[in-house]
Chain A
Amino acid sequence: MATVTDSLDDHHDHGPAKGLMRWVTTTNHKDIGTLYLIFALVMFMVGGAMAMVIRLELFQPGLQFVDPGFFNQMTTVHALVMIFGGVMPAFVGLANWMLPIMIGGPDMALPRMNNWSFWILPFAFAMLLGTFFMDGGAPAGGWTLYPPLVLQGGNGFPFMIFAIHMMGISSVMGAINVIVTILNMRAPGMTLMKMPLFVWTWFITAYLLIAVMPVLAGAVTMLLTDRFFDTTFFSAAGGGDPVLFQHIFWFFGHPEVYILILPAFGVISAIIPTFARKPLFGYSSMVYATSSIAFLSFIVWAHHMFTVGLPLQGELFFMYATMLIAVPTGVKVFNWISTMWKGSMTFETPMLFAIGFVIMFTIGGFSGLMLAIAPADFQYHDTYFVVAHFHYVLVTGAVYSIMASVYYWIPKWTGNMYSEKLGQWHFWLSTISVNVLFFPQHFLGLAGMPRRIPDYSVQFAEFNMWSSIGGFAFGLSQVFFCFIVYKTIKGGEKATDQVWEGAEGLEWTLSSPPPYHSFSTAPEIK
């Protein structure tokens, strides 16, 4: 019997295939995780380049560089690329790398599907970005794709729809994989309530993905048939309703917001205890808070549509439900602070990004609470105040948590320590510039500047210039980040298995870098 086991182990111990084909045919969760993360980084830079065009045009009043049509293409595709190409794949990459390790499993449960769900993405984005070279250019109706405007698009329109379909298929497959892995691959003794919070938050996120990606697919398919097959789902002339699209879209769109942020909560709940050298405060309340947020996310969608003319009762319901979200979100923030309280903190780069996350995500949460107040939202809606709000939760929220996780786990992934000095530089450059970039946008919005405009009245000139300067500096800081990542992959001081003094969890029991197959023998959890 022993000999059989040994030979099986031998078989499992072979390393990765060599060359390019390793990456094309891989079914290994770490390889696929790496592919996802690199893809996300590339898309982050592509979407960032578009943001630079936007900020360049908005640097001063008057149109200097691009025409309004191209400007609209920039804002639209910037959002699609950042959401579907940047943040989502980055979190899937982190899930691929860390979930099997964190639950003590050998790999993801469905490795071949894993390969497929990644390799769909480059084609989807080639198609989406390809629309720039088609007649009529890229989609320019905003990432929210509201009809009738989106139906006026050029030849790129159907390609964008199919690209979204492909992204959706990829996400759903990734989500199924996450759920199956978590339910079936846990090491003995790893009960649900012992799972690290990153595993929990991803578990809940995966259900959200499965629930809403098909809704988006349905909505965009209806757009497609409205444009090409004479249906009138969204046209009043044929008995349809343009607002119906908004309801369907935001039924997807609001849970999507939590798809982008719940995994971030998980990451932060891993990093803060490590560097406070103290267990996470209120583990079970974190799990319940995450579940409540996920549930509430399904019944607040119309707060994106307060100005479409909802009935009073509808507006009241969605206002109350939205305000409620502040409660579980508040619980999370309070728990993180209680974790820090009376700890023994050190401030390495991951911790800096995690603290940056807590502070700036909370600022985004405050403006979110303001936006929930329907009568006030009638003023805030579709202004730069909203732009400032969602960039605080998405850039200094989701993206900061991704940066934090990269610094936190890259020594584990590569076996090399990143340069602490450069990491700290990156944090401070990013944090100063991102606030110069987004904070003045609150003022712009309150003073009356609508979003999605390529040119503005001269009274908005000063803050726009600040914002653009912050934007360029933030953009450059991320080029610097790419350099730090590259340098760490290439070499550096060797990391120990434990890496961080206060780190706890199965990932730190493996070598740095971990073996090609994570846990061939399941660890015992007590």
Chain B
Amino acid sequence: MNKLKQLCAGGAALTFMSSIARADYGLNLPVGVTETSRQVYDLHMLILWVCVVIGVIVFGAMIYSMIYHRKSRGAVASQFHESMTAELVWTVIPFIILIVMAIPATTVLIDMHDSSEPDLQIKVTGYQWKWRYEYIGEDVDFFSTLDAASNEARRVGSDIDPATVDNYLLNVDKPLVIPVGKKVGFLLTASDVIHSWWVPDFGWKKDAIPGFINEAWVKVDEPGVYRGQCAELCGRDHGFMPIVVEVKSEADYATWLAEQKAGSTAEKTAVIEEIDPLELKNIGKKVYTANCVACHLQKGEGVAGIYPAITGSAIVTGDINQHVDLVMNGKPGTAMAAFKDQLSDTELAAIITYQRNSLGNKVGDAMQPIDIAALR
């Protein structure tokens, strides 16, 4: 009999533990991979247990009272309605508990605010709806956007099962790369609306605010890939601007950085070649899907009142220079971003050529990368 009991208890515990242990079935805050995140996790668990204990006492008293002090059991109501002692006790004790809570919270907060003396600094800029990472002093600067597979699967009526997409909505075309064990400082800002940069495993999030710079820092213990999302409502595609951080060993990071630098130098010195308009249109379609679809929609129909249609647009079908100007410099006060910094010469030429000759438009002219380069 005893054995049976043990078996049952063991089985139940095992089921419970294994359901918690299932990696993709989060119940609690991640412990994370930084000193900060572990401190935050400990604070979280401490306050959680404080609440649980108080809850057990308070609800326990209530339930006891509900069982024993009910009329159907013949309880007779006593008429007491005041007790200075009791009032004092339950004012003072919670106050003491709060002070005990406030001390570790203050320590952690002070630590988190110390973003001095970073080993390297990265400027993070939020755009609707992508992130830009600039390695300060390193000439490495790139955008990070939702990966193509997720982007395709997330369309209304795409008929693609999200479960078949790797890291659905939590994957990007080009992740941020940082070295392990180094204090990485972040300077956060935004170009259009407020965003918020959040990787749960790092233990914090911080708002990226246009016109202002916020500071934060991270020192990761283990190499790996860590994922997060924008946490501040930033418009239509707020749910679709993930963050992926690859933490590499110092040597791997150095290699990666050198590659990036070589790449950006090559890009700058490359001879700009003429591209066949048909090819431009093909590139343009991809660029359109990645950058324009969110507002102007798949067929270029737009949304009346906020996002103008591409199809039949006076600007797209009119003077090509005005069209180029709008795409490159954006329209202040609206969601139309300046794509000058976000896209390469080729991509800009491609998107303009594509818009003028697709999506129901047939202007017939094309833009070449070299012409865009001249306008920069």
Within A141-170, the residues touching B (CB, 8 Å) are 141-142, 146, 148-149, 151-155
B145 within 8 A of A: no
Q: Taking the nearest CB of chain B, how far is it from the CB of A403, in angstroms?
A: 19
In the complex, A74 has a CB within 8 A of chain B: no
A246, closest chain B residue (CB): B194
Binds A, one of B4-12, B73-81, B117-125, B345-353: B73-81
**Contact indicator B196/A307 (Cβ below 8 Å):** yes
Q: Is A20 in the interface zone, CB < 8 Å from B? A: no
Say whether, besides A277-B77, A279-B79, A369-B47, A324 and B109 are in contact (CB < 8 Å).
no
Chain A residue numbers with a CB within 8 Å of B24 are 458-459
CA distance A90 to B193 in the complex (A): 35
Chain A residues with CB under 8 A of B61: 337, 341
A136 touches B82 (CB 8 A): no
Bound Cα distance from A285 to B108, whole angstroms: 35
Does the CB pair B109–A315 fall under 8 Å? yes
Instruction: From B43, B69, B102, B156, give the contact of A67 (CB < 8 A).
Output: B156
Task: Show 29 residue pairs from A and B whose CB-CB distance is below 8 angstroms, ordered by the A residue.
Answer: A61-B162, A61-B168, A62-B158, A63-B154, A64-B156, A149-B193, A152-B306, A152-B334, A155-B305, A227-B333, A236-B210, A237-B211, A243-B209, A282-B83, A309-B209, A330-B91, A331-B87, A334-B86, A343-B75, A345-B71, A346-B70, A362-B59, A370-B47, A378-B203, A379-B205, A383-B231, A446-B28, A447-B26, A453-B238
Task: Compute how far the CA of A62 lies from the CA of B40 in the bound complex, rounded to whole angstroms.
Answer: 32
Q: In the complex, what residues of B have CB within 8 A of residue A68's CB?
A: 236-240, 294
Beyond A307-B231, A309-B212, A340-B65, list 13 extra A-B contacts (CB 8 Å). A61-B162, A236-B210, A237-B332, A243-B209, A277-B71, A307-B206, A315-B109, A323-B98, A327-B98, A344-B75, A358-B62, A373-B44, A375-B105
A242 at the interface (CB under 8 A from B): yes
Contact B233 A149 (CB under 8 A): yes
Is residue A283 contacting chain B, with contact meaning CB distance below 8 A? Answer: yes
Q: Which residues of B contact A (CB under 8 A)?
A: 24-30, 39-40, 43-44, 47-48, 51, 54-55, 58-59, 61-62, 65-66, 69-72, 75-83, 86-87, 90-91, 94-95, 98, 101-102, 105-106, 108-110, 112-113, 153-156, 158, 160-163, 167-170, 192-194, 196, 198, 200, 203-207, 209-212, 214-215, 228-240, 294, 303-306, 332-335
> Contact between B233 and A142 (Cβ–Cβ < 8 Å)?
yes
Asked whether A363 is an interface residue with its Cβ less than 8 Å from the other chain, the reply is yes
Beta-carbon nearest neighbor of B76 in chain A: A344
Assess the B62–A375 pair: CB atoms within 8 A: no
| Interface core residue of A62, A141, A340, A341 (most chain B CB under 10 Å) | A62
Residues of the B chain whose Cβ atoms lie less than 8 Å from the Cβ of A443: 26-28
Most buried by A among B55, B105, B196: B105
Number of A interface residues at 8 Å Cβ cutoff, please give it: 102
A69 contacts partner chain B, Cβ-Cβ < 8 Å? yes
Asked if A381 and B205 sit within 8 Å, CB to CB, the answer is: yes
A450 and B109 within 8 A (CB): no
> Provided the pairs A148-B193, A355-B66 are in contact, do residues A344 and B211 lie with their beta carbons within 8 angstroms?
no
* Interface set of A (CB-CB < 8 Å, partner B): 61-69, 72, 134-137, 140-142, 146, 148-149, 151-155, 227, 235-237, 241-243, 276-283, 285, 307-309, 312, 315-316, 319-320, 323-324, 326-327, 330-331, 333-334, 337-347, 355, 358-359, 362-363, 366-367, 369-370, 373-376, 378-379, 381-383, 443, 446-448, 450-459, 462, 502
B27 to A, closest residue via Cβ = A443
How distant is A351 from chain B, measured CB to nearest CB, in Å? 10
Known interface pairs A61-B163, A285-B87, A457-B168; A378-B25 also in contact (CB < 8 Å):
no
Report the minimum CB–CB distance from A358 to chain B (whole Å).
Answer: 7
The 4 closest A-B pairs by CB, nearest first: A236-B211, A135-B305, A447-B26, A136-B305
B101 & A366 in contact (Cβ 8 Å cutoff):
no
Q: How far is the CB of B307 from chain A (nearest CB, A)?
A: 8
Which partner residue on chain B sits nearest A236 by CB separation? B211
- Chain A residues whose C-beta falls within 8 Å of the C-beta of B155 in the assembled complex: 63
- Contact pick for B205, options A227, A241, A327, A382, CB 8 Å: A382
Nearest Cβ on chain B to A131's Cβ, whole angstroms = 10
Residue of A nearest to B304 (CB): A135
Q: Chain A residues near B71: list those with CB within 8 A.
A: 277, 344-346
Query: Measured between C-beta atoms, what is the minimum distance from A58 to chain B in Å?
Result: 11
Contact: B153 with A62, CB < 8 Å? yes
> Are the CB atoms of A366 and B51 closer together than 8 Å?
yes
Q: Are A369 and B51 in contact (CB under 8 A)?
A: yes
